[in-house]
Amino acid sequence: QKEVEQNSGPLSVPEGAIASLNCTYSDRVSQSFFWYRQYSGKSPELIMSIYSNGDKEDGRFTAQLNKASQYVSLLIRDSQPSDSATYLCAVNKGDTSGTYKYIFGTGTRLKVLA
Amino acid sequence: AAGVIQSPRHLIKEKRETATLKCYPIPRHDTVYWYQQGPGQDPQFLISFYEKMQSDKGSIPDRFSAQQFSDYHSELNMSSLELGDSALYFCASSFQGRYEQYFGPGTRLTVT
């Protein structure tokens, strides 16, 4: 079992709808959580970071974190065809080295249908 | 805003050859991470550096080595290349104390 789990999809939503992407993690000491968008053959692009339980909103994006359930999600409102990409959930635990390597999920492929 | 720079963007090597990948972090970022992403896979952490010292090590083969220089750029050296090393190699940088990592455009390595 991977430390960070995502449904690989594809998740298909119509244009203008809300896309809901989910991620679970296994290590309770995980401290911070990130959503990246990755287009095919391109590098991951940071969309959201979240550290505390609850919701965090940035434009059309809302990240939700529930540490008790070890669950983090990303909502994309008013989905656009340009949002079609793979969304990677990344978790870091922090450690004594002072650096914070990411553990990635396998990503969820989102398709927004025009 | 300045981003992470990686060079070369594409590299084709034969088996058993060596390769050097370079990464120039965002100005004032002092931490560099290297990730390897195979086709259809998620990025896998290889190694990281903070203030020119190796700070963490992941699934990096012994054939690979890396270092960070005084100007904070980093190089990933890969020897005795194997077909399975063909992948996208990303460098990411961050500022110490901040959790967010910013990725470079990647180097696509093809081993034939």
Summarised one tens digit per residue, pLDDT across range B7-29 is 999 999 999 999 999 999 999 99
- Interface check for A78 against chain B (CB to CB < 8 A): the answer is no
Q: How confident is the model at residue A99 (pLDDT cuts 50, 70, 90)?
A: low
Q: Do residues A99 and A90 lie in contact, with contact meaning Cβ atoms separated by under 8 Å?
A: no
- Amino acid code (one letter) for B82: E
Q: Is the predicted pLDDT of residue A86 greater than 60, yes or no?
A: yes
For residues B33 and A95, the model is more confident at B33
CB–CB contact B48 A92 (8 Å): no
The confidence score (pLDDT) of residue B16 equals 97
The confidence score (pLDDT) of residue B22 equals 98
Out of B48, B102, B108, name the one closest to residue A101 (CB): B48
- Interface check for B39 against chain A (CB to CB < 8 A): the answer is no
Provide the token pair at A28.
């309770």
The confidence score (pLDDT) of residue A1 equals 74
CB–CB contact A46 B101 (8 Å): yes
Provide the token pair at B49.
């550096």
Q: How confident is the model over A32-39, as a mean pLDDT?
A: 96
CB–CB contact B42 A88 (8 Å): yes
CB–CB contact A32 B101 (8 Å): no
Q: Is the predicted pLDDT of residue A97 greater than 60, yes or no?
A: no
Distances from the Cα of A8 to the Cα of A25, A59, A67, B40, angstroms: 15, 25, 22, 10
Out of A43, A49, A102, name the one closest to residue B45 (CB): A102
B41 C-beta neighbours (distance < 10 Å), count? 13
Q: Do residues B13 and B107 lie in contact, with contact meaning Cβ atoms separated by under 8 Å?
A: no
- Interface check for B100 against chain A (CB to CB < 8 A): the answer is yes
CB–CB contact B43 A102 (8 Å): yes
- Interface check for B99 against chain A (CB to CB < 8 A): the answer is yes
